[in-house]
């Protein structure tokens, strides 16, 4: 059953940036871009690197793996550049007042 988990305050992640959270066995990269919030699995599907340590591609709404340069769509988790070929999980995010909430499966 899905569970909403408070991960931080909206002021904890300035735009544009990301931050890693370990939530009930899920390693999650929460991204703040302008007025948009995204939550994506923090492990690159190719090399098990932290996506939160990679560059954000703001216009494309993607995050780049710092190890080999694969990029992942923040909305779908789908890889947009090789060498990664498998998607990473995405999680629903909502902002309730000052709280950033992530829905875990």
Total structural domains in the chain? 1
Taken as a whole, the chain contains a residue count of 105
pLDDT of residue 49: 96
Distance of CA 33 to the CA centre of its chain: 11
Residues 6+ apart with CB under 8 A from 82: 70
Identify the band that residue 56 occupies on the pLDDT scale cut at 50, 70 and 90: very high
Domain that holds residue 30: 3-104
**pTM for the whole thing?**
0.96
Distance CA 84, CA 95 (A): 30
pLDDT of residue 94: 98
CB 101 within 8 A of CB 2: no
- The CATH number linked to 89 is 2.102.10.10
Identify the band that residue 9 occupies on the pLDDT scale cut at 50, 70 and 90: very high
Average of per-residue pLDDT values in the chain? 97
Name the percent of the chain lying above pLDDT 90. 99
Identify the band that residue 51 occupies on the pLDDT scale cut at 50, 70 and 90: very high
Identify the band that residue 46 occupies on the pLDDT scale cut at 50, 70 and 90: very high
Q: Tally Cβ neighbours within 10 Å of residue 44.
A: 25
Of residues 48 and 51, the one with the higher pLDDT is 51
């Amino acid at each position: 059953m899905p569970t909403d988990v408070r991960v931080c305050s909206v002021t904890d992640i300035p735009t544009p940036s990301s931050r890693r959270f370990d939530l009930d066995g899920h390693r999650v990269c929460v991204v703040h871009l302008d007025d948009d919030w995204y939550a994506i699995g923090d492990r690159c599907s190719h090399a098990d690197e932290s996506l939160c340590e990679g560059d954000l591609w703001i216009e494309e709404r993607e995050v780049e793996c710092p190890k080999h340069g694969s990029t992942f769509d923040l909305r779908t988790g789908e890889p947009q550049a090789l060498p990664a070929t498998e998607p990473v999980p995405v999680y629903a995010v909502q902002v309730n007042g000052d709280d950033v909430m992530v829905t875990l499966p």
